[in-house]
């Protein structure tokens, strides 16, 4: 082996040096590209996780709100001016659809459905509020808000009931739709370990953690599991 290397002249050593230099460059380029690919994958996964968490948060908010609307008198809420589309619907419909589309093609298609349902809920709330306020004009002026609500329920309850049903069902369906979209991404099935303190002081927080655990376990959830305390 020593004699073999001793037989090399200057040009041979130059050739060997060039080959080693080329191999080193190829290795460096491969390693750099591999690192960039890892970083791109990490960035993509982080973006997907942010989209997933945003959609999850809106799902949880709407699911909780749907439980609240099931318990409340919507005529009373409309009369008092506390039933507003901007308080019910996701604040940024474009952002919601964008995040849903980033999860998968299927989730993006469901995002289009969610956007249509969002407009239907807004329309139903508008008709309900407008109808209640219009019917309230016929109530005796001396009635306080509680008696006005009773008057409206007795005399116009049947007229506004379809819109009450539409609002309640629409909010519930939108909540379910968001979760259906969130599940259409492989990373939705990844275990996400969240170390919450066992001494949470908020009953709402404890209920939310319980609901999150059920979702993570894939257990079927009934309406209100994550929001009732």
- Of 59-73, 175-189, 208-222, the least confident: 208-222
Identify the residue with better confidence: 104 or 129.
129
Asked if residue 22 is part of any domain, the answer here is no
CA dihedral (134, 120, 208, 219) in degrees, to 10, reads 140
Q: Are residues 143 and 73 in the same domain?
A: yes
Instruction: Compute the C-alpha angle 179/182/183, nearest 5°.
Output: 90
**What is the pLDDT at residue 229?**
33
Cβ-count burial of 6 within 10 angstroms (0-12 exposed, 13-18 middle, 19+ buried)? Answer: exposed
Q: Are residues 186 and 197 in the same domain?
A: no
Residue 161 has a pLDDT of: 96
**198 lies in a domain?**
yes
Is residue 186 domain-shared with residue 196, that is, in the same domain? no
Predicted confidence (pLDDT) at residue 31 exceeds the cutoff of 70: yes
User: Based on the domain organization, do 181 and 223 belong to the same domain?
Assistant: no
Range of the domain at 142: 47-190
Q: Which is higher by pLDDT, 27 or 3? A: 27
User: Is residue 21 included in any domain, yes or no?
Assistant: no
One domain, residues 124 and 200: no
211 and 179 in a single domain? The answer is: no
Q: What is the pLDDT of residue 191?
A: 63
Is 8 part of a structural domain of the chain?
no
Q: Give pLDDT tens digits for 57-100.
A: 899 899 999 999 999 999 999 999 999 999 999 888 888 888 88
Q: Are residues 208 and 160 in the same domain?
A: no
Lowest-pLDDT range of 65-79, 117-131, 180-194 = 180-194
Rounded Cα gap, residues 46 and 38, in angstroms:
12
Q: Where are the beta strands (DSSP E) in the chain?
A: none
């Amino acid at each position: 082996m020593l004699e073999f290397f001793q037989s090399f002249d200057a040009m041979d050593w130059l050739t060997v040096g060039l080959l080693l230099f080329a191999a080193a460059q190829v290795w460096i380029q491969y390693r750099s590209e591999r690192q960039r690919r890892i970083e791109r994958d990490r960035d993509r996964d982080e973006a997907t996780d942010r989209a997933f968490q945003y959609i999850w948060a809106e799902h949880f908010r709407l699911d909780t709100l749907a439980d609240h609307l099931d318990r409340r008198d919507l005529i009373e809420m409309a009369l008092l001016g506390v039933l507003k589309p901007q308080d019910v619907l996701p604040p940024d419909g474009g952002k919601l659809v964008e995040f849903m589309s980033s999860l998968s093609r299927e989730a993006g298609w469901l995002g289009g459905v969610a956007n249509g349902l969002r407009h239907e809920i807004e329309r139903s709330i508008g008709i309900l509020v407008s109808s209640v306020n219009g019917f309230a004009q016929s109530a005796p002026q001396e009635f306080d808000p509680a008696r006005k609500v009773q008057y409206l329920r007795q005399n116009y309850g049947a007229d506004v009931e379809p819109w009450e049903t539409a609002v309640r069902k629409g909010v519930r369906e939108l909540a379910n739709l968001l979760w259906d979209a969130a599940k259409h991404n492989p990373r939705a099935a990844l275990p996400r370990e969240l170390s919450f303190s066992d001494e949470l002081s908020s009953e709402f927080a404890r209920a939310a953690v319980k609901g999150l655990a059920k979702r993570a376990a894939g257990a079927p959830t009934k309406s209100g599991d994550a929001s009732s305390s």
